[in-house]
Amino acid sequence: MDRPRRPVPWAVAVVYGAVLAGGVYWSLVGEGLDHPGRLAGFVLVLALLFGVELVEWRTPVHPGVLLAARIGLFAAAASLDGSGTSRALFVLVPFVAYFAFGRATSVALAAACLAFIVTGFSLSTPDWYRDAEYVSDLLMFTIGLVLAVCMAAVASAEREARGRLESTLDRVAELSAAMERNRVARDIHDSLGHHLTAIAIQLEKATAFADRDPALAERAIADARASARDALADVRRSVRALREERPPFSLRDALTGLAGDGGEPAVTVTVTGEPDRYDTAALTALYRAAQEGLTNARRHAKASVVTVSAAFDEAGARLVVADDGRGFATPGEGFGLLGMRERVELVGGAVSVDSGPGAGTVITVTIPPAPAWSAA
């Protein structure tokens, strides 16, 4: 039987130690010297109580059994302790019960302990309520019961709060790991996928023209090698980013690199405005969108011309990737477009795709104005 360990485990041991010290002291300096057997029995009972605590921490015993054992030993200690100090042990009954059975049971047992003490006073001293010492002891015992229940409530609430916090932290860690996996997946698809597509196209071109136009086939192979080098450079940049060695990102240079990577169709790039006012995340989202649009144009559209235009002004950032390819009737939602949407939505933007059979494809990405524009 697995159950959470009781908070503040030292509290019970401290009370046991205080009661033991008080009982032994009374026996040595008071009337207890005349009853050495009671002192030995008292010490034995306290030792058994410490043993119960040890059993609880090392052996899975039902809490009801342990609570019953404690109450019996408390009663035995109170009967052997002439100083009355052992009555303080009953304060632990609602304290321990709170963690095992809950608040209602704890409060009920606190009331039962109070009734038990009152009954004991009534049986031993019928007019006890006329004695200020008895009344004072009863009030102190009542205060002890209230404090015990309150302390247990606070400790229990703290344990529950800590459990919720740990659960929340675990969930945050899971979500962070999932987000990082998605980011890496998008990077692999957008970066390596683009370069591998270019390499495949160039190698197919080289194979097709190997006999008819060896010079063109050689250029295609050279272009494939250049794309492979670009892929390796992209991987290295990603590794540097993971190591937080982030060089400044230039969207102009990145888009120019897309246009001049040697692939087909021909790519025209225009950039207007001030992209540097946007943060790296927004610029990277735009670059990956352009890269994905170009990859799709090369892989599926059979386009002859692709235009990439990026404009930055007070209204926001706008990227348009247009090709004159064969288009499609119903836009597909493959992993590339899904990753593009995820990337753009993370920076507050939106993606739209306009296409039709024989009419080419236009991908439009918009991102809200950067804070630098708002402050200008």
* Domain edges within the chain: 10-170, 250-376
* DSSP conformational letter for 8: S
pLDDT for position 321: 92
d(CA 294, CA 306): 7
Phi, psi (deg, nearest 5) at residue 350 = -145, 155
Residues 166-199 pLDDT 10s:
878 778 777 777 776 776 666 666 667 667 777 8
Task: State the first-to-last Cα distance of the chain, in angstroms, to the nearest integer.
Answer: 65
The rounded distance, in Å, linking the Cα atoms of 320 and 282 is 15
pLDDT given at position 330: 61
- 130: Cα separation from own chain's centroid: 61
Which strands make up the sheet holding 361-367, listed edge to edge? 266-272, 305-313, 316-323, 361-367, 350-355
Instruction: Give percent above pLDDT 70 in the chain.
Output: 84
DSSP 315-350: TEEEEEEEE-S---SS----HHHHHHHHHHHHTT-E
pLDDT value at 267 more than 80: yes
For residue 61, give the DSSP letter: -
**279 contacts 318 by C-beta, under 8 angstroms:** no
As a whole number of angstroms, the distance between CA 376 and CA 344 comes to 24
Give the confidence band of 2 by pLDDT, cuts at 50, 70, 90.
Answer: very low
Report, in angstroms and rounded to the nearest whole number, the Rg of the chain calculated over CA atoms: 40
pLDDT at residue 364 in the model: 93
Q: pLDDT value at position 275?
A: 87
Look at residue 373 and tell me whether its pLDDT is greater than 60.
no
Q: How confident is the model at residue 105 (pLDDT cuts 50, 70, 90)?
A: very high
Q: Provide the 8-state DSSP code for 368.
A: P
Collapsing DSSP to helix, strand or coil, 269 comes out as strand
- pLDDT of residue 36 exceeding 80, the answer is no
Token pair for 124: 């031993």
Question: 277 and 373 in contact (C-beta within 8 Å)?
Answer: yes
Q: What are phi and psi of 366, to 5 degrees?
A: -120, 140
Phi, psi of 353, deg, nearest 5: -125, 125
Question: Residue 334 above 70 pLDDT?
Answer: no
Higher pLDDT, 158 or 247: 158
Span 250-376 CATH architecture: 2-Layer Sandwich (3.30)
| Residue 343 pLDDT | 83
- Taking alpha carbons only, the member of 374, 89, 126, 367 closest to residue 251 is 367
SS3 362: strand
Task: Give the model's confidence band at 1: pLDDT under 50 very low, under 70 low, under 90 confident, else very high.
Answer: very low
